[in-house]
Structure 1
Amino acid sequence: MEKIIAEFDKSSNDIKFLEFNKKLTDSIERPQELKFILEHFSYVTVNGYLKILGNDSENGFSYCNELFSKCYNSNRCLIAYDILCGLFAINIEKLNAIEYFAPDTLEWEDLEIDYKDFLYWVTTNQLDTFYQELIVPDLFTLDLSLESNEVVLTYPFIWSMEYTPSGAVRKIVPFKELLEMNADFYRQLKM
């Protein structure tokens, strides 16, 4: 597990984390790397636009998964989200494969990696490549706090035909609000 911390330290990405001082109460055994993150960190943020969930008592893994399970299929476990409410989740039925709920398509995409690979992936420049279409400079002018579960609502919605990065209006909203809104649109559009 020290390799994970070493990769965080070596990365050219802006990785910040808050160490966690209490003992983990949940009984998470697998994947081992998830247990490690939950035992050692309240959260990890990457490049100011991605939050890896840790054991923060107010805005962490347990809280976000409680919200997530009310909105989406319970065969997934939320592990991270981005400032546009893109979601990274472990699909338990697919042998712990990481899937991404893309806010621009409202679709689940299999990333074909596991949690350990995900932690390494966020330390590479592949992360910026993955987000090059979604993360626009205007997003960083907002006074957003990933630590307290804030995300950016974009109107027209980022998944709509009317959306253009330069013509969009952006507003900071609680993660819960945009999570529930996207889940409603997801269900409506899939029917």
Structure 2
Amino acid sequence: MVDSRGDAWSELSRLIATSPLNVMVCPPDDASATAATLGLGTGPFLGAFARNTSGVMVDDGWLRLLGGSSSADGLPGLDQASAGTTGLLVVAFDVLGGVFALDGGALGTGNGSVYHFSIDSLSWEDLELGHAAFVTRMLAGATTSFYESLRWPGWQDDIATLQPRQGLSLYPQPFMAEGKDVSSASKRAVPMAELLAVHNDIATQFGTDRGVQATWP
């Protein structure tokens, strides 16, 4: 059995414990093969997530950092979330269906930079951060400023009852001119896989970018 108590997990545990946000670590699943499937060791943050968690819910569940696979009700593992993609590794979702992925060649130079597929533009943006830097910033509270334009009064109450594999569908959608005021949009809980598929299909039709086609249930 691989010893998962490496420096990366120690550092991640410290970042989680000192985060100003409400953070919940989903416990690891003994049956998860994510780390082995992706060839992840214990040193990098990716390996620490895959071996020690089945995901981490950040900022009351607004951001979901992916780790090892879990039950059908939990977050998909890093390997499952990326199964329908080529040249990138999906590492996180947000509650509105935004996606964060490491570029393996599909999005840019293939240097492993974190890209964000934003629901208000339906295109990928290079955050110019590695995975560890991205995680560190988000756990330090960067979600507050990063999502400032996509939040509304009382958003915590609206997402409080969502399950890990659910997101919120907004209408009008934020990429539409009439959807820029998210506070007045209607909000409906839907499966995250459905939300990602809708964004991917619309982006493809618009010719902006390809999103992520979820193959997990």
User: What TM-score, normalized by structure 2, do the two folds share?
Assistant: 0.79
Q: Which has the higher strand share?
A: 1
The answer to whether the 8 A contact 1:98-1:110 is kept is yes
Q: 2:22 matched to 1:6?
A: no
1:77 to 89, 95, 100: 89
The answer to whether the 8 A contact 2:82-2:90 is kept is yes
The residue number in structure 1 matching 2:81 is: 64
User: Matches of 1:133 and 1:169 in 2, distance apart?
Assistant: 16
Shifted more, 50-59 versus 95-104: the winner is 50-59
Q: 2:180 matched to 1:168?
A: no
SS at match of 2:149: coil
Shifted more, 51-60 versus 16-25: the winner is 16-25
C-alpha deviation, 1:139, in angstroms: 2.9
The residue number in structure 1 matching 2:49 is: 37
Q: 2:67 matched to 1:54?
A: yes
SS at match of 1:101: strand
SS at match of 1:35: helix
Sequence identity percentage? 22
The residue number in structure 1 matching 2:205 is: 188
Q: 2:96 matched to 1:88?
A: no
Where structure 1 has 5 or more consecutive residues not aligned to the other structure, the ranges are none
User: What TM-score, normalized by structure 1, do the two folds share?
Assistant: 0.89
User: Matches of 1:165 and 1:119 in 2, distance apart?
Assistant: 26
Alpha carbons of structure 1 residues 40 and 156: separation in structure 2 relative to 1, 3 Å:
same
User: Matches of 1:42 and 1:16 in 2, distance apart?
Assistant: 11
User: Matches of 1:153 and 1:9 in 2, distance apart?
Assistant: 31
The answer to whether the 8 A contact 1:50-1:82 is kept is yes
Spell out structure 1 runs of 4+ moving beyond 6 A: none
Q: What is the 5 A alignment of 1:109-120?
A: 109-120=125-136
Q: What is the 5 A alignment of 1:143-182?
A: 143-147=160-164, 149-163=165-179, 164-182=181-199
Q: How many residues align?
A: 185
C-alpha deviation, 1:189, in angstroms: 0.8
Q: Which has the higher helix share?
A: 1
After superposition, the C-alpha distances for 1:49-96 in whole angstroms (9 at most, x for unaligned) are: 001112224332233323xx2xxx511111100011010111112211
SS at match of 1:95: coil
1:101 to 117, 126, 134: 117
